[in-house]
């Protein structure tokens, strides 16, 4: 999957995955505090943060596997840092990465407009919700509560991961730090920065 990648793309993806592995673990604690105020639904409001690296890397690198691999590596970093869920979290990262990857694959890895990035964030949310539904006993909850959980997670994925990932990458692009990456070239191959 990564054999057509340049070394600098692999390094950039690895750095982002490591950084967001730390961010993801931090947000577990933020989620715990937030849940103390409004209950377990608190996580649904911020769930998009756990998908953001897949959108960010896919938007910058624009190659098959960027979303899946970055999300998986970030989950592995989070596990190595001590997330209490343990190795099962890596499977969760794979599922989330596949949700974003499916959207980019559906476009042939050629479309990276805002709506596609938001859809990829929502795709991560849908895949992760399905995974959570199977493992976490959501079927025992009131259906209207489950619908609210799903809606909040999809919105969070679209807004925090989709828009958030776009704005982070666009900011880095404006700083000039992404020269030579796919994001810095337009459709004609001319550099944008």
The lowest-confidence range among 36-50, 52-66, 175-189 is 175-189
Establish if 192 belongs to a structural domain: no
**Extended beta strands in the chain, E state:** none
pLDDT of residue 192 exceeding 90: no
Establish if 2 belongs to a structural domain: no
Establish if 193 belongs to a structural domain: no
Q: What is the DSSP string of 4-47?
A: TS-HHHHHHHHHHHHHHHHHHHHHHHHHHHHHHHH-TTHHHHHG
> Which contacts of 75-79 are long-range, i.e. CB under 8 A and separated by 24 or more positions?
75/21, 75/24, 76/21, 77/17, 77/18, 77/20, 77/21, 77/22, 78/21, 78/22, 78/24, 78/25
pLDDT of residue 193 exceeding 80: no
Establish if 139 belongs to a structural domain: yes
Q: How far apart are CA 139 and CA 133, in angstroms?
A: 7
Establish if 113 belongs to a structural domain: yes
Domain count, the chain: 1
The angle formed by the CA atoms of residues 164, 168 and 172, to the nearest 5 degrees, is 170
Q: How far apart are CA 147 and CA 126, in angstroms?
A: 12
Other C-beta atoms lying within 10 Å of the C-beta of residue 87: 10
User: Across the chain, what does the average pLDDT equal?
Assistant: 92
Model confidence over 84-134: pLDDT tens digits?
888 899 999 999 999 999 999 999 999 999 999 999 999 999 999 999 999
| Owner of token pair 């982070």 | 168
pLDDT of residue 63 exceeding 60: yes
Establish if 70 belongs to a structural domain: yes
How much is the pTM?
A: 0.91
CATH for 20? 1.10.1760
Establish if 159 belongs to a structural domain: yes
Q: Which domain holds residue 87?
A: 7-184
Establish if 47 belongs to a structural domain: yes
Residue 2 confidence (pLDDT)? 65
């Amino acid at each position: 999957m990564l054999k057509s990648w340049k070394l600098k793309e692999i390094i950039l993806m690895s750095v982002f995955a490591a950084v967001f592995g730390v961010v993801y673990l931090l947000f577990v604690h933020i989620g715990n505090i937030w849940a103390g105020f409004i209950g377990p639904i608190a996580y649904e409001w911020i769930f998009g943060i756990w998908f953001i690296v897949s959108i960010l890397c896919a938007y910058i690198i624009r190659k098959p596997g960027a979303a899946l691999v970055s999300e998986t590596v970030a989950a592995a970093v989070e596990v190595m840092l001590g997330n209490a869920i343990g190795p099962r979290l890596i499977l969760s990262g794979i599922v989330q990465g596949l949700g974003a990857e499916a959207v980019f694959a559906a476009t042939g890895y050629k479309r990276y407009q805002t709506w596609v990035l938001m859809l990829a964030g929502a795709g991560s949310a849908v895949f992760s919700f399905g995974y959570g539904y199977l493992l976490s006993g959501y079927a025992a909850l009131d259906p209207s509560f489950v619908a609210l959980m799903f809606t909040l997670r999809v919105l969070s994925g679209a807004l925090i991961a989709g828009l958030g990932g776009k704005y982070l990458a666009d900011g880095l692009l404006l700083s000039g730090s992404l020269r030579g990456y796919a994001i810095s070239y337009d459709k004609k191959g001319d550099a944008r920065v």
